[in-house]
A and B are shown apart, each in its own frame.
Chain A
Amino acid sequence: MSWIDIAAVADIPLRGARVVKTKLGCVAVFRTDEAEVYAVSDTCPHKGGPLSDGLVHDRKVTCPLHNWVFSLETGEAQGADEGRIETFAARVENGRVLLDGTALGRRTAA
């Protein structure tokens, strides 16, 4: 793992998300609590909705297009829907959001 400093955690609204652009697509970084973040693919597998624009509740996000709900921990769709979004390692240290550059690099190289 190689952690990359992305931004201050305060740059992401509480129960909100911001997008990080990577070579093969957007990754949404969610802030579910004061110092809790999750990084997942920004693209809903259903119809490609931008998950970073979804409503965040608990450790889940609801897609803004058709209300699919995903666990930010596992990436699994909840309830009746079947699908999964890719998850990436992310953590908060001293008020900074860190993402795993190796994972994103693999994604970039893939």
Chain B
Amino acid sequence: MKKLVVIGAGMASGRALEHLFETDPEAYEVTLFNAEARGNYNRIMLSPVLSGEKSYAEIVTHDEAWYRANKVTCRFGEHVVKIDRDRKVVVGEAGEVLYDKLIIATGSAPFIIPVEGRELPGVITYRDLDDTEAMIAAAGQPGANAVVIGGGLLGLEAAAGLRLRGMNVTVLHLMGHLMERQLDESAGYLLLKDLERRGIKVMTGASTKAILGKDKVDAVVLEDGTVLDADLVVMAVGIRPETRLATDAHLEVGRGVVVDAQMQTSDPDIHAVGECVEFDGALFGLVAPLYDQAKVLAKSLLGEVDAYAPKELSTKLKVTGCDLFSAGDFAEGPEREDIVLRDPSRGIYKRLVIEGDRLVGAVLYGDTADGSWYFGLIRDGTDIDDMRETLIFGPGFQGGASADPLSAVAALPPEAEICGCNGVCKGKITEAITGGAKDLTAVRATTKASASCGTCTGLVEQVLQVTLGGDFQMPGAQPICACCDLTHEDLRRLIKLKALKSQPAVWQELGWKTPNGCHVCRPALNFYLLADWPLEYQDDPMSRFVNERNHANIQKDGTFSVVPRMWGGLTNPNELRAIADAAEKYKVPTVKVTGGQRIDLLGVRKEDLPAIWTDLNSAGLVSGHAYSKGLRTVKTCVGTDHCRFGTQDSTGLGVKLEQILWGSWTPHKVKLGVSGCPRNCAESTCKDVGIICVDSGYQVSVAGAAGMELKETERLADVASEAEAIDLTVAFVQLYRENAKYLDRPYKWVAKVGLDWVKARVVDDLDERAALIERFEVSQSIYRKDPWAVPAREAGERSRYAPLADLTLEAAE
């Protein structure tokens, strides 16, 4: 067997040995030297080890068993003294080894800036596990200060890890912006802001003059005279190939050990791989090319033909929470064109650099999801001319953000998904359109696109417009459904105007084209009628969606979830005991605390619903309406009762509001929040109505959202008394009930009518406010009741939840 000696157990040589043993385990007898007293581990995962997110054991790539199985003679912790090419011998500190083939994989050495004090204890580099452990040890002393010299990839990972370990960290960077090799200035700026938010101090344009200290490091002095206290100094300014052994052996060495495309050095029996090599004038510091080299090297050693060809590289920063991606070349140039997208509110920056018809560089910050797609375009030199206009939006163009959304939609390929809910692609929609579906309703009916959550409605309309051209009128308003020609707004107006007080009256008077509507218009109509005529109109459960009919939320397997109301999030041992008992008695598989401060019992069988309600009712628990287009919850914080910051009794106000509003039906669900101080622990500012208590009273705000869209509430008014805060809330909810389109949350409705219109009625016009409150009370005289109580009490209602008959008990004939 031929003898192979490997100097250096890094990621490149480790991968090369893997390939070698996989292809031909009997080809070589291997001796592996490593200056570190351990074998191969995943060096790029040192950052998570430093930050504490991983342990050393988790990043070991080859353990003792692996070396044993492959009969590798390990000489770990032993430095190689020299290579004797004449005798084909490697001289280690503990003796010589003969080789037939030799691999130099000595990696790189950290660059130490030649300043005074660089030898002091406490000044370390960041290359291996020993460095990492030294940093972790230094971070152990409370309040310790670290100075990281170098704001590149490695330095920032060190800084982030040390900060997570609790150190006060300052990063010194010589250049004007961080990671200047991978990032442009704008992305560098966003990164700096992100790091500062994490409590890391960054000084750019900072040149280190000296490191001070007597027995150990004390401080760092900059050229401008600034002195920074330091218990630890990490030098992370760069690396250089470790070439000393190769140079001493008179191999050809430039900046690194020079190799050809077979990873062979100037000596045919000596190969080199990894960060120590120089190929075609280039050096390598990232792992992807090292792995490519390792593969080629293994083949060369087995006499197979392959050639290493460098590829484009991409970088991702391994700092948890910093989303950063860069690939290719993004320097500005006369032939180059930039496409930039900025979203300051979300901290997003995207920049694409185009040369001719090719993408040559990409920098993404804040949203790197499309990184690999851009990287593919750069690597493959794809002609992007057709996609130029939409390129910045990524492969799954989302719509709405482009200056010319139509051309963006036109550019989408047929297989691009338009409707995510129903999995409908553009091709299917255009097919339907050419097949005769000339408007949104028809497209919905034939393809289901935009028939579920509706967020893609705009996109579907754009596909219609692109496909039909001048034949398509972008509709101003859509009819409710195919049953009628009316919009929701028309319907609401005509119900009031013509005093239509039953569903058949509406169907008849307003020309319904179907006998009794459909699943789209019936729930809307039922709501409009009960909101406008609470005393005259009889609520129709059969026009309600299953959840509102069964007073529970249907789950995917046909079981239901049961959520008892907890007023303002308050509960007591008695209620909790009743919930626990019910969960056990009805074998509830999942019990979950909801975001609305109550408890969800999930997986209750339909036939058990009346019984579980009876049990909960007897402990005083009523329906939480967690299933309704109606008042859901009033989330509160503990307010003045317990909190040292509370300014008013927020819990008490929340309970009062919930007791007034519960049971009321609304166009869509309504959620409230009451916070006892501006710290806003009840998250009131994203609710439909949010109240923040302050010393001087109550800030009532409305029209927030925290679902498919995210929106902060807008201030309705500031009032001094609790009673007035309640009045404003009730009047607002009633105005919403009387005017909004079914399934519009308050924020959508307010966006349509305008906050000023709402204020004029609810805040300024006191008569109108009082009238709204009065009409709400009239409605509540009917609807403020527990829907669980009736089936829980009445056998007739209860039977609705049970099978009509059971034929399984009879023998088949």
Contact = CB atoms under 8 A, between A and B. Distances in A.
Contacts of B193: none
B806 interface: yes
Nearest to A54: B546
Contacts of B515: 57-58
A67 B519 contact: yes
B805 A15 contact: no
Contacts of A19: 803-804
A23 B812 contact: yes
A101 interface: yes
Nearest to A101: B813
B400 to A, nearest CB: 25
Contacts of B523: 55
Nearest to B549: A53
Nearest to B432: A80
B554 A21 contact: no
Contacts of A21: 803, 805-808
A72 interface: no
Interface residues of A, number: 44
Interface in A1-37: 2, 4, 6-7, 11-16, 18-23, 26, 29
B80 to A, nearest CB: 65
Contact of A79 (B446, B516, B517, B800): B446
Contact of B514 (A55, A58, A64): A58
A57 B524 CA distance: 14
B541 A57 contact: no
A67 B803 contact: no
Given A57-B514, A57-B518, A58-B516, A79 B448 contact: yes
B264 interface: no
Nearest to A57: B518
Contacts of B522: 55, 57
B451 interface: yes
Given A53-B550, A80-B447, A20 B803 contact: yes
Contacts of A57: 514-519, 522
Given A6-B804, A53-B554, A65-B554, A81 B448 contact: yes
B807 A20 contact: yes
Interface in B446-504: 446-448, 451-452
B691 to A, nearest CB: 35
A105 interface: yes
Interface in A57-78: 57-58, 60, 62, 64-67, 69
Contacts of B108: none
B607 to A, nearest CB: 9
Interface string A71-110: 0000000011100000000000000010001001100110
Contacts of B812: 23, 105, 108-109
Given A48-B557, A55-B542, A101-B813, A69 B804 contact: no
Contacts of A108: 807, 812
A49 interface: yes
Most chain A CB neighbours (cut-off 10 Å) among B445, B452, B556, B558: B558
A13 B807 contact: no
A53 B555 CA distance: 12
Nearest to A44: B558
A79 to B, nearest CB: 5
B537 interface: no
A80 B550 contact: no
Contacts of B446: 79-80
Contacts of B445: 79-80
A45 interface: no
A49 B522 CA distance: 20
B542 A11 contact: no
Interface residues of B, number: 37
Contacts of A40: none
A65 B556 contact: yes
Nearest to A14: B542
B514 A53 contact: no
A67 B451 contact: yes
B542 to A, nearest CB: 4
Given A15-B516, A55-B519, A58-B516, A48 B558 contact: yes
B556 to A, nearest CB: 7
Given A14-B542, A55-B545, A62-B519, A49 B558 contact: yes
Given A13-B542, A57-B522, A105-B812, A47 B516 contact: no
Nearest to B437: A80
Nearest to A19: B803
A89 B50 CA distance: 72
A54 B557 CA distance: 14
A59 B804 CA distance: 20
A107 to B, nearest CB: 9
Contact of B556 (A6, A13, A29, A47): A47
A6 B803 CA distance: 11
Given A57-B514, A64-B545, A108-B812, A18 B804 contact: yes
Contacts of B542: 13-16, 55-56
B407 interface: no
Given A57-B518, A66-B452, A80-B445, A50 B558 contact: yes
A69 B805 contact: no
A29 B804 contact: yes
A2 B606 CA distance: 31
B625 to A, nearest CB: 18
B650 interface: no
B543 interface: yes
A93 to B, nearest CB: 16
Contact of A20 (B448, B514, B546, B805): B805
B799 interface: yes
Contacts of B514: 57-58
A104 B807 contact: yes
Nearest to A110: B812
Contacts of A7: 804-805
18 contacts: A2-B813, A15-B542, A16-B542, A18-B803, A18-B804, A19-B803, A21-B807, A21-B808, A22-B808, A29-B804, A53-B554, A55-B522, A57-B514, A58-B518, A64-B546, A69-B518, A97-B804, A101-B813
Closest 7 pairs between A and B when the two form their complex, measured CB to CB: A18-B804, A62-B519, A64-B546, A15-B542, A108-B812, A53-B546, A55-B519
Interface of B: 445-448, 451-452, 514-519, 522-523, 541-546, 549-550, 554, 556-558, 606, 799-800, 803-808, 812-813
Given A14-B542, A55-B545, A67-B519, 16 more contacts: A4-B807, A11-B804, A18-B800, A20-B804, A22-B808, A23-B807, A50-B554, A50-B606, A56-B542, A57-B518, A57-B522, A58-B518, A62-B518, A66-B452, A79-B445, A101-B813
